[in-house]
Structure 1
């Protein structure tokens, strides 16, 4: 991964293997409550998370050298912590009053309303909803529909939209309207009318379907053998929602070979016009559900992280939970959220890792492996590690790594970048066979047929190549056909490779001493100061006074708006970029709409809450100093890292070996 790159610490280390199985590498995001600086460990639980105003902070972990108790009371990981997003966190749910079970959903809609309205107003709304629901059973239904409840003035348009959706999802029998910024809630007469035709559950599900407005989605009523009754339902929907919905009766045969007829409802198709984009006309493509998340995780690992799914109700997610489990994904803590997640919006990650097949390094003559492990862990816990980008950044084990594609894009060699992208691995499988075929024939259409559906990125590129050809113009439009975030990913991989090389050179040249010309990250009262001023060039006087620590030294990720160190490291950057024909690069690739301003990254990072224990495969044998070297032993190690830090890099420093 990082051969011949510098280490920070001087201990000997040891050998072992990681990621033998996904369960050996567990990653859990550390979440940050909005308005709070404390991080919480994301939990797998069906319980409601702590309230935002009083989150249960996770206790610092103490180092241990023995296996933890299987179920120690008060374990900090017993506490639930919801994903960020304001409305996602809630107080433990109270039981609803008896006699009102129809208002319970069990999926946490109330916390969203409570976060938007405040608890007193939320409770008043709930009482109003109960009265409206009770009134529907009375003869005087008109009176029930006339009742109104004011949520007060709401000047923020986004908050009003969130409230409209939250109220309708929680209480589909209510309708919300806005009058001069004042939000009014009242009974929905259409809901009452449909309740006279179909069951209450069908009515509720129909209005939730209507509110979600998911394109290409459908809703089916229960089978109905009465043609005249079906006709009445058709007329009701067409009269009330004809501009938005269309209905159709369809017949299926049940298990007894008896025909059953149901009414299916779907949204009318919109007149999609072609939209002009930088790469030409973009035809209508499939619309995918939008997932947002805070960070990308290891592929060969068990990972726990929050995700927000746009325009999918909690009920729908709960329904598909079993299907997701069959594909290796489990869904916990389902609840509504009123804002999406963004990359980088996390406090860090917690890692639980098993290192197997522990051995001495071949050059190590020590007789005590247990002592070597203790020495290594203590050294990195005290001094930290070099903050290299890990193998995930570059495509570990691939013939062509992502940084090579990024370099070709920076040099605007579009055809070369495409050929690198489609370079196959030395395996015989459908994906690599398709890539091999493309390089041999440049037949984009034929390659499209050969590729599996899940290779979305490749198919996006091939569609444009099929239309425009495998030439400079066609390949440019091909790259434009994939999302901007994926295009720039390759360029960032190249910039990360240069940063890794620069960090190793800096430590080999100057060691841990802060020297004149270094760039340091300044902090005031624990907070970073303004972006333009936070990076400072060390002066000769400051070097003599040992004013700064090596833990403040940063190196630039190359780009058009960064400054380089004013010493040998800065000179190294210019020579290194010249080697890749980038000495005149402005780090703007206009044909691909890529703009790379650059940034800064700390050379060293510390590990937090580190703990470990050793375990023998022969469980009945206690690990003693004189037994360890004769047993097959595994190291169980856990720690927290800041965002954008790599556990494999931390382990490299501990073990003094590459993976």
Structure 2
């Protein structure tokens, strides 16, 4: 699993086998309190799985109120494509994108923002330089946090511009903020202006490209009579249905959609979605009852799965329910070779519909429990951790251990890890354990913008004879995307999305780029995060090898307790020579960066190692932004060590139900039962590695 990687404890350990059956590895996610989840009508479960967060869910906010048509207001960024100024009674309007013209719209002109006022000076003029700089930083941090895999608080962030007493200035600020930062919205509360993320903008970005999202919101803000907007041609009927549903659900009171035939770039007939304003846009003031009507339908449940990956299980559910995998939200990806319990929320599906498919899912290793309505979907990091009930079998001494007392070895190991913790490595499931091509290899190809290579790695088959791997094998041999598409099972949603795009655009750099863009952002960035995790693992091993448990000058430390990876907004301190001499910090406070564009590196040999390691992968000038794929990797910080909580264990004879009490054990005659809790994003297999001193 982690060959040659370091340990923090120095006991001898013991040998054994894990995951002999799914019942030997049971994972239950520990949820946050129910009021934070917004569940209704039932009690939520208490626990469920080994955390591997990869899903980025849109922020949770109510649908924005929309105004009736009015003349276009000035644009803070300059350029065409107007937007009306918000009413003081309507501060929550969705944002719009200003820099790019919606080339699908029939109306593209507008007046300048204000006579003699340059777009780059608008906010400075309205707010003053200090406040304008703080707003810029908030916007940048929020956009970065949206791309972080473990930042659970991003959706709740707000920034106050302070009390703005003059009504006209408030109106100008509403417009200027929205035009410069289309992913933000502004709200007025008792003359105080609050800025926060635009949930609708981010959710649409999960369905179409960011450029289409920007152009759509620009069209929406302009409110020009008889204007229309068209999305890019899309031959995937189910995907078009999802886009139709999003627009009707969010803006159905003022917009209507229809599908029409167009000619694509290859002069082939295709389908596209056109949006236009309804003839009667309705009242400018939208009441609370309308907002309630537009709220999403959410159904919460507990998913029990056995011998299935989380994304594979979601693929089964999505195919059966007729929704997209992105309609499911959860807080982490659970181990495949295990029985796992985790809460999930699905959009656009009623509890009754979910109950109907329960029996069908049991045949695929899935069970659905505790179905009930919810007010919102889950967010990444919205859990306290994970509880594990594990069984280690075939116990014996390591070959180099001459001791005869195995029970003493086990007791020593448990006490050591309980008091000293373990190295916080990412576990093997992060990278696709046992696969011919691991996820970090695909991530490296994407970072290097080698799109064709990344596609071929993605479709590299395993050495098995089954429909999925046969389809992959066929595609690589023939480059026949359409034929491979027919061979793939329905639940392989990512593969099918990619193949549809490749069939349309071809297996070339441009076609492969469009293929990657056809799958949700959270799935694209999954592979890049895997590469960053691999580098972190290697860095942690190097740091412990050269400096051990001593905190040295140049180390990065975080001085407060934190249960997850540390976000960019938290203060990370560089240890000084004086602090090293005074032993001011402990190894438990040392963090290492996950590579990205907004982190700082240690100023000692570890920082030098990072630069050399990235150069080895030809990433020495990488900006950790893959613009063609709209991927932004700011990075974060992760503690080197983690502690285990509520650790308990007992030994049981191979004769079922007989507990072992004698002081000397015969090898392979007993099993070790272990129970413990871990923080989010920690791995039970890594903790076991530290306990047993062996790799799996």
Could you tell me the TM-score, scaled by structure 1's length? 0.62
**Which residue number corresponds to residue 2 of structure 1?**
2
Q: Is the 8 A contact 2:405 2:664 kept in 1?
A: no
CA positional deviation for 1:334: 2.2
CA positional deviation for 1:619: 3.8
1:271 aligns with 2:271: no
The structure-2 alpha-carbon separation of the partners of 1:590 and 1:650, relative to structure 1 and needing over 3 Å to count, comes to same
Moved more, 282-291 or 606-615: 282-291
Secondary structure class of the residue paired with 1:479: helix
Secondary structure class of the residue paired with 1:295: coil
Q: Is the 8 A contact 2:611 2:620 kept in 1?
A: yes
Secondary structure class of the residue paired with 2:393: strand
Structure 2 CA distance for aligned equivalents of residues 274 and 350 of structure 1: 52
CA positional deviation for 1:216: 12
Structure 1 CA distance for aligned equivalents of residues 614 and 266 of structure 2: 29
Q: Is the 8 A contact 2:502 2:515 kept in 1?
A: yes
Structure 1 CA distance for aligned equivalents of residues 608 and 339 of structure 2: 42
**Which residue number corresponds to residue 26 of structure 2?**
26
Q: Is the 8 A contact 1:616 1:631 kept in 2?
A: no
The structure-2 alpha-carbon separation of the partners of 1:590 and 1:530, relative to structure 1 and needing over 3 Å to count, comes to closer
Structure 1 CA distance for aligned equivalents of residues 9 and 637 of structure 2: 23
CA positional deviation for 1:333: 2.2
Secondary structure class of the residue paired with 1:498: helix
1:606-644 Cα deviation digits (max 9, x unpaired): 000001111111247652445521552111101000000
Structure 1 CA distance for aligned equivalents of residues 498 and 564 of structure 2: 43
Q: Equivalences for 1:169-318 in 2 at 5 Å? A: 271-272=258-259, 287-288=323-324, 290-318=327-355
CA positional deviation for 1:282: 7.7
CA positional deviation for 1:528: 11
The structure-2 alpha-carbon separation of the partners of 1:563 and 1:594, relative to structure 1 and needing over 3 Å to count, comes to same
Q: Equivalences for 1:321-360 in 2 at 5 Å? A: 321-360=358-397
**Which residue number corresponds to residue 503 of structure 2?**
466
Structure 1 CA distance for aligned equivalents of residues 43 and 510 of structure 2: 52
Secondary structure class of the residue paired with 2:383: coil
Secondary structure class of the residue paired with 1:454: coil
1:471-496 Cα deviation digits (max 9, x unpaired): 11111111111111111110000000
Q: Is the 8 A contact 2:259 2:271 kept in 1?
A: no
Secondary structure class of the residue paired with 2:368: coil
Task: Provide the aligned C-alpha RMSD in A.
Answer: 3.5
Q: Is the 8 A contact 1:523 1:534 kept in 2?
A: no
Question: What are the ranges of 5 or more consecutive residues in structure 2 without an aligned counterpart?
Answer: 48-59, 61-240, 246-251, 274-318
Structure 2 CA distance for aligned equivalents of residues 601 and 527 of structure 1: 8
Q: Equivalences for 1:447-526 in 2 at 5 Å? A: 447-523=484-560
The structure-2 alpha-carbon separation of the partners of 1:465 and 1:530, relative to structure 1 and needing over 3 Å to count, comes to closer
The structure-2 alpha-carbon separation of the partners of 1:293 and 1:509, relative to structure 1 and needing over 3 Å to count, comes to same
The structure-2 alpha-carbon separation of the partners of 1:378 and 1:273, relative to structure 1 and needing over 3 Å to count, comes to farther
**Which residue number corresponds to residue 561 of structure 1?**
598
Moved more, 588-597 or 435-444: 435-444
Q: Is the 8 A contact 2:25 2:338 kept in 1?
A: yes
1:556-602 Cα deviation digits (max 9, x unpaired): 00000000000000000000000000000001111111111000000
1:199-250 Cα deviation digits (max 9, x unpaired): xxxxxxxxxxxxxx99999xxxxxxxxxxxxxxxxxxxxxxxxxx9xxxxxx
**Which residue number corresponds to residue 690 of structure 2?**
653
CA positional deviation for 1:329: 2.3
1:545 aligns with 2:582: yes
Question: What are the ranges of 5 or more consecutive residues in structure 1 without an aligned counterpart?
Answer: 59-84, 86-212, 218-243, 245-268
Structure 2 CA distance for aligned equivalents of residues 570 and 311 of structure 1: 47
Structure 2 CA distance for aligned equivalents of residues 370 and 590 of structure 1: 56
Structure 2 CA distance for aligned equivalents of residues 426 and 12 of structure 1: 36
CA positional deviation for 1:276: 12
Q: Is the 8 A contact 2:481 2:503 kept in 1?
A: yes
**Which residue number corresponds to residue 304 of structure 2?**
none
Moved more, 328-337 or 537-546: 328-337
Structure 1 CA distance for aligned equivalents of residues 553 and 437 of structure 2: 38
The structure-2 alpha-carbon separation of the partners of 1:35 and 1:311, relative to structure 1 and needing over 3 Å to count, comes to closer
Structure 1 CA distance for aligned equivalents of residues 692 and 35 of structure 2: 38
**Which residue number corresponds to residue 12 of structure 1?**
12
Pick from 36, 43, 50 the counterpart of residue 49 of structure 1. Answer: 43
1:385-443 Cα deviation digits (max 9, x unpaired): 00000011100001110000100110111111111111111222222222122222211
Structure 1 CA distance for aligned equivalents of residues 561 and 694 of structure 2: 37
Q: Is the 8 A contact 1:556 1:564 kept in 2?
A: yes
**Which residue number corresponds to residue 416 of structure 2?**
379
CA positional deviation for 1:324: 3.1
1:592 aligns with 2:629: yes
Q: Is the 8 A contact 1:279 1:481 kept in 2?
A: no
**Which residue number corresponds to residue 403 of structure 1?**
440
Structure 2 CA distance for aligned equivalents of residues 279 and 548 of structure 1: 62
**Which residue number corresponds to residue 679 of structure 2?**
642
**Which residue number corresponds to residue 429 of structure 2?**
392
Q: Is the 8 A contact 1:28 1:349 kept in 2?
A: yes
CA positional deviation for 1:335: 1.9
CA positional deviation for 1:325: 3.0
Q: Is the 8 A contact 1:442 1:470 kept in 2?
A: yes
Q: Is the 8 A contact 2:552 2:580 kept in 1?
A: yes
Secondary structure class of the residue paired with 2:373: coil
Pick from 643, 650, 660 the counterpart of residue 613 of structure 1. Answer: 650
The structure-2 alpha-carbon separation of the partners of 1:531 and 1:440, relative to structure 1 and needing over 3 Å to count, comes to closer
Structure 1 CA distance for aligned equivalents of residues 593 and 266 of structure 2: 32
**Matched positions, count:** 445
Structure 1 CA distance for aligned equivalents of residues 667 and 334 of structure 2: 36
1:472-525 Cα deviation digits (max 9, x unpaired): 111111111111111111000000000000000000010001100000012289
The structure-2 alpha-carbon separation of the partners of 1:416 and 1:506, relative to structure 1 and needing over 3 Å to count, comes to same
Structure 2 CA distance for aligned equivalents of residues 610 and 561 of structure 1: 37
**Which residue number corresponds to residue 188 of structure 2?**
none
CA positional deviation for 1:7: 0.6
Greater C-alpha radius of gyration:
1
Could you tell me the TM-score, scaled by structure 2's length? 0.59
Secondary structure class of the residue paired with 1:541: helix
Structure 2 CA distance for aligned equivalents of residues 536 and 303 of structure 1: 38
Structure 1 CA distance for aligned equivalents of residues 561 and 18 of structure 2: 40
The structure-2 alpha-carbon separation of the partners of 1:437 and 1:522, relative to structure 1 and needing over 3 Å to count, comes to same
Q: Is the 8 A contact 2:652 2:672 kept in 1?
A: yes
Q: Is the 8 A contact 1:279 1:477 kept in 2?
A: no
CA positional deviation for 1:314: 2.5
Moved more, 519-528 or 475-484: 519-528
Q: Is the 8 A contact 1:47 1:333 kept in 2?
A: no
Secondary structure class of the residue paired with 1:614: strand
**Which residue number corresponds to residue 423 of structure 1?**
460
Q: Is the 8 A contact 1:522 1:528 kept in 2?
A: no
Structure 1 CA distance for aligned equivalents of residues 566 and 615 of structure 2: 33
Secondary structure class of the residue paired with 2:583: coil
